[in-house]
């Protein structure tokens, strides 16, 4: 099998890249090790930056998002039983975010790819990327039902959208790699609950007992999170204990109430910052979690992946139209500028709102001072709003 661009991974990054390339008249093949049902049910991010929304619309994948997604024009910050709303459009010249789950983005892009795009192979496990530093890289893979027989996808370019445990980044020689990483001593206990959200926008709460986040998946399904110690087992918490702790951390002086409902899912997400440099080796390009991970506090993971594939698609289209590889050669440097700004923003949000296990009274007071600054300074608010709604694609 041969194609111009071999894409490993049918998450939102790989699927969107295939769509962008299709629209530019460039052929591709997408390899995904899991089956379609798994990809369409894999719960991940739910906040789309303004730039991501714009890209999906321009790619022809925004119709259902615009119909069913929830536009949010701000977030609420809470501490010491006080509330402060950050107004995104007022601070950013009209920018906002969209609540629309990654599962739904994937469903939309899969439907488009199967209807209009190139091959999308589910159950096709990538085993290795070979010849990345040649003009003819290839992906060795094994398709479900073809036991004992490896297949080869020959490409002009390979894009690894296969996450932090995929094969793509293993093809970059270790001596060329720098890794920057931080592991946090806490995680998020997340729940899905069949109850209408108790607030119409996301609520980020800093509390002496730890962070809490009120989010949502739809007008009838709430998504909520609690900071818990690293290594916590979600089953250690009963449903009543979870709701009671959420109520403590979201408490306000004006009598606001958190509505309870049946919890349908709970899990613990570890917190990590990670950057792999470079994001390119020869004709192999890394995108999304294959190259970088952010703690979820800033809602940046999916949006960073979108930035990567937009950058690659633009660079390859530029080469197709002009014959110049200038933008392809600059891919890693271009992406990393945006990646590091998102890493900074995510780190700032995490350290602003989470209480470290060994936090001192001095550090606690600094957190409160930072939150008070956000509540009283337009400049500080603007910096947060610009970061939250998304750094521009270059």
Task: Please tell me the total count of domains within the chain.
Answer: 2
Q: Active-site residue among 79, 292, 300, 354? A: 300
146 — pLDDT class (breaks 50, 70, 90): low
Pair (220, 325) in one structural domain: no
Mean pLDDT to the nearest integer, 29-39:
94
- The answer to whether the beta carbons of residues 166 and 160 sit under 8 Å apart is yes
Q: How far apart are CA 21 and CA 315, in angstroms?
A: 11
DSSP string, 81-110: TEEEEEEHHHHHTS--EEE--HHHHHHHHH
In sign, the C-alpha dihedral spanning 296, 300, 304, 305 is positive
pLDDT confidence of 144, banded at 50, 70, 90? Answer: confident
Same domain, 267 and 285: no
Same domain, 38 and 122: yes
- Binned at pLDDT 50, 70 and 90, residue 148 comes out as low
> Containing domain of residue 189, as a range?
184-271+354-389
Judge whether 92 lies within some domain.
no
Q: Is 387 helix (H, G, I), strand (E, B) or coil?
A: helix
Assigned domain for 263 exists: yes
Q: Please report where in the chains the tokens 């594939």 appear, as a residue.
A: 309
Active site residue 296: yes
The pTM (predicted TM-score) of the whole model is 0.95
* Bridge partner residues of 189 (DSSP): 226, 268
Active site residue 388: yes
Structural domain includes residue 86: no
Is 347 catalytic? The answer is: no
Which of 296, 314, 331, 354 is catalytic? The answer is: 296
Of 100, 157, 184, 204, which one is the catalytic site residue? 204
Check: CB of residue 233 under 8 Å from CB of residue 269: no
164 and 190 belong to one structural domain: no
- The answer to whether residues 14 and 139 belong to one domain is yes
pLDDT single digits (tens) 170-224 = 999 999 999 999 999 999 999 999 999 999 999 999 999 999 999 998 899 999 9
The answer as to whether 168 is a domain residue is: yes
Show the tokens assigned to 279. 């994001």
Looking at the fold, whether 134 and 266 belong to one and the same domain comes out as no
**Is 72 annotated as catalytic?**
yes
> Do 107 and 205 have their domain in common?
no
User: Active site includes 314?
Assistant: no
User: Are 190 and 154 within one domain?
Assistant: no
- What's the pLDDT tens digit per position in 268-312? 999 999 999 999 999 999 999 999 999 999 999 999 999 999 999
- Is position 156 within any domain? yes
Domain for residue 90, yes or no? no
pLDDT of 394 higher than 90: no
Assess if residue 88 is contained within a domain.
no
Which of 22, 72, 207, 276 is labelled catalytic? 72
User: For 245-341, where are the E strands, in sequence order?
Assistant: 263-277, 280-281, 284-286, 292-293
Q: How far apart are CA 47 and CA 44, in angstroms?
A: 10
CATH code of residue 319 = 3.50.50.60
């Amino acid at each position: 099998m041969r194609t111009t661009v071999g894409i490993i991974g049918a998450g939102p990054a790989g699927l969107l890249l295939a769509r962008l390339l299709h629209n530019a008249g460039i052929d591709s093949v997408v390899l995904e090790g899991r089956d379609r049902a798994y990809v369409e049910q894999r719960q991940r991010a739910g906040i789309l930056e303004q730039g991501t929304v714009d890209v999906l619309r321009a790619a022809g994948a925004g119709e259902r998002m615009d119909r069913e997604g929830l536009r949010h024009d701000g977030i609420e910050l809470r501490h010491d039983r006080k509330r402060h709303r950050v107004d995104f459009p007022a601070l950013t010249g009209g920018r906002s975010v969209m609540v629309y789950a990654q599962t739904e983005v994937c469903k939309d892009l899969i439907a488009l790819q199967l209807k209009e795009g190139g091959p999308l192979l589910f159950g096709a496990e990538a085993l290795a990327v070979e010849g990345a530093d040649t003009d003819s890289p290839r992906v060795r893979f094994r398709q479900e039902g073809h036991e004992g027989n490896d297949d080869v996808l020959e490409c002009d370019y390979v894009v690894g959208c296969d996450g932090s445990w995929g094969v793509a980044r293993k093809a970059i020689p270790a001596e060329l790699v720098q890794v920057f990483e931080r592991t946090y001593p806490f995680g998020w206990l997340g729940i899905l609950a069949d109850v209408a959200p108790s607030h119409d926008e996301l609520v980020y709460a800093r509390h002496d007992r730890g962070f809490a986040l009120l989010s949502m998946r739809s007008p009838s399904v709430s998504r909520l999170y609690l900071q818990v110690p690293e290594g916590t087992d979600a089953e250690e918490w009963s449903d009543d204990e979870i709701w009671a702790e959420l109520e403590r951390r979201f408490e306000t002086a004006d009598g606001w109430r958190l509505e309870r409902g049946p919890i349908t899912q709970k899990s613990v997400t570890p917190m990590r910052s990670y950057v792999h440099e470079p994001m390119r080796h020869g004709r192999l390009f890394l995108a999304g979690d294959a190259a970088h991970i952010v703690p979820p506090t800033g809602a940046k993971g999916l949006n960073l992946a979108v930035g990567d594939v937009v950058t690659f698609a633009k660079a390859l289209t530029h080469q197709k139209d002009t014959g110049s590889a200038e933008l392809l050669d600059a891919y890693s440097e271009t992406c990393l500028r945006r990646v590091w700004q998102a890493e900074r923003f995510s780190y700032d949000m995490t350290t602003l709102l989470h209480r470290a296990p060994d936090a001192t009274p001095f550090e606690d007071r600094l957190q409160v001072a930072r939150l008070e600054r956000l509540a009283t300074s337009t400049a500080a608010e603007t910096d947060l709003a610009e970061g939250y709604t998304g750094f521009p694609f270059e």
